Structure 1
């Protein structure tokens, strides 16, 4: 009688560490590219209206992802994944991008950053309520530190009289859509691959933005080449690549933990604006960025398990408070 060999504990441990490293690497790619998007949006947004910019970005992303799917023969997502894909596509890829682009034209960058950074907190709360995700103390503490950093960065960047109530509402709606899209995407990743979920979510968002097609054609004919190139960059890298690496990492951790990771974005935006645009940050901005990164480090940290107890007894294994891989 043949028996199936079980992997040794050391092999399982090595596989788990490899999965953690890959997920962490994917999350890092996402955060860096999303931070770079803020610099590109500033350039493209001078020539393109909010809806046209969102549509152009999504079309570029959808074409890129579609080609990758054809090469990899990804196929259609399974039926159980479609609900989550459709909701995340409408909320995150579609509504969020238009609302954020529009909101950032009404308020200064600091106010926009403050309001939109409510998103990760909403993700953690919705994930706990709808997905059953745990809220470990380290995650809550890390998010609190990061949010304080985001507030500090926002206040240091806010201009006088640069905000409007309408703009604040748009940014708040963008944050709610972002949170809802992430929470809807998580269950879909249990049935479909990260590439499938991202591709068809992007297509859904592009379809939602098709009413802006006329504006896109008209503005593309008059826009400088640099603005159009920035729009294409937004579609290929911060959308096609970064949303795929995001989905890959999200499939291997909780929604709240992934949301907390995005608090590294404000710190990276400050650094990139300094290097690319020559905008020298002040001491308050640097302090806020450092707080953002410190909070992310706390939220991603995990308790070390004891391997042995006194007198050679095996110590009880601590209860896992999250489903992060």
Structure 2
């Protein structure tokens, strides 16, 4: 009997959990610095996946697959989270989600370079529209509070760095899933990312001692749900669907993030940031368009 394809439910789980991650990071940022929060989250995620992944030496990747695992472990699990955590010290959760989710544009650009797909007109137009949106968000962040003008600009730049790391990681992970199970691929990413963040171990230990219980709960939540579960359901879906199809589903993340952030943290993006966010998502949507001539007739 053929296994039931649960790609769509898996994507819904991912989108919801990743949306809550922006809120959780914002909530925990009062107690944990960016590197320490990343290390703690990845350690919790790796432990949570141990029983599911059941890693064995005989199933460990090698050669090209191992190289790709290291690449997405460093960029997506390590650097992405550090940049994201740092950005949310200056920007609210909703604004951060709006900027980071231009990541699919990075995926399209990488596909154009690595797979020689070129840079069709919709990609160029979409990139222009999306980055106009980012610029508008930066202006909105500055005008919303003059006291944090430079900090907000730094936050926007960090979001762009996070989006690039997300794109590189997503493209690198896709080929490994033909060899590794979804849970093993995520477990390895957590381990590699945690190794990258080991220099933050003393800071994490010190901050854990000073953090209130609520923030520690948020750290554990980030490790178990958005990381262990959310990345595994993402890997399950991307193993069965195209990277573009899965990445496009993350358009919903900012919407859910803003709603949850409003309820939990009582914060919303600046009014002008909504316009910039709409431009970002519109730009990403434009990049997914294909000329009619390029479409192949269905048999």
Give the TM-score normalised by the residue count of structure 2: 0.79
* Counterpart check, 1:176 vs 2:159: no
Which residue does the alignment assign to 1:99?
Answer: 83
CA distance in 2, matches of 1:101, 1:59: 16
Can you give the 5+ residue segments of structure 2 that lack an aligned partner in the other structure? 290-295
**Match 1:108 to one of 91, 109, 113:** 91
Mapping of residues 28-39 of structure 1, within 5 Å? 28-39=12-23
CA distance in 1, matches of 2:7, 2:123: 17
Which residue does the alignment assign to 1:3?
Answer: none
Structure 1 residue 252, shift from structure 2 partner: 1.6
CA distance in 2, matches of 1:193, 1:216: 30
Structure 1 residue 187, shift from structure 2 partner: 1.0
Which residue does the alignment assign to 1:226?
Answer: 214
User: 2:95·2:137 contact (CA, 8 Å) conserved in 1?
Assistant: no
User: 1:27·1:249 contact (CA, 8 Å) conserved in 2?
Assistant: yes
Mapping of residues 136-147 of structure 1, within 5 Å? none
CA distance in 2, matches of 1:26, 1:144: 32
* Counterpart check, 1:245 vs 2:233: yes
**Match 1:255 to one of 223, 243, 259:** 243
Q: Which structure carries more helix by proportion?
A: 2
* Corresponding residue SS for 2:178: coil
User: 2:99·2:277 contact (CA, 8 Å) conserved in 1?
Assistant: no
User: Larger radius of gyration, structure 1 or 2?
Assistant: 1
Mapping of residues 148-159 of structure 1, within 5 Å? 159=144
1:44–1:271 CA distance, 2 compared to 1 (3 A): same
Give the TM-score normalised by the residue count of structure 1: 0.73
Alignment coverage as a number of residue pairs: 288
Can you give the 5+ residue segments of structure 1 that lack an aligned partner in the other structure? 1-10, 302-316, 321-325
Structure 1 residue 189, shift from structure 2 partner: 1.1
CA distance in 1, matches of 2:137, 2:159: 16
- RMSD, aligned CA: 3.9
1:253–1:141 CA distance, 2 compared to 1 (3 A): farther
Relative contact order higher in (CA < 8 Å, ≥ 6 apart): 2
Which residue does the alignment assign to 1:41?
Answer: 25
**Match 2:145 to one of 160, 181, 192:** 160
| 1:81-136 residue CA offsets vs partner (Å, 9 max, x unmatched) | 2221111001110111112212332x323664454233221012213432577999
1:287–1:177 CA distance, 2 compared to 1 (3 A): closer
**Match 1:122 to one of 86, 90, 106:** 106
CA distance in 2, matches of 1:28, 1:260: 12
Which residue does the alignment assign to 1:4?
Answer: none
* Corresponding residue SS for 1:263: helix
Structure 1 residue 264, shift from structure 2 partner: 1.3
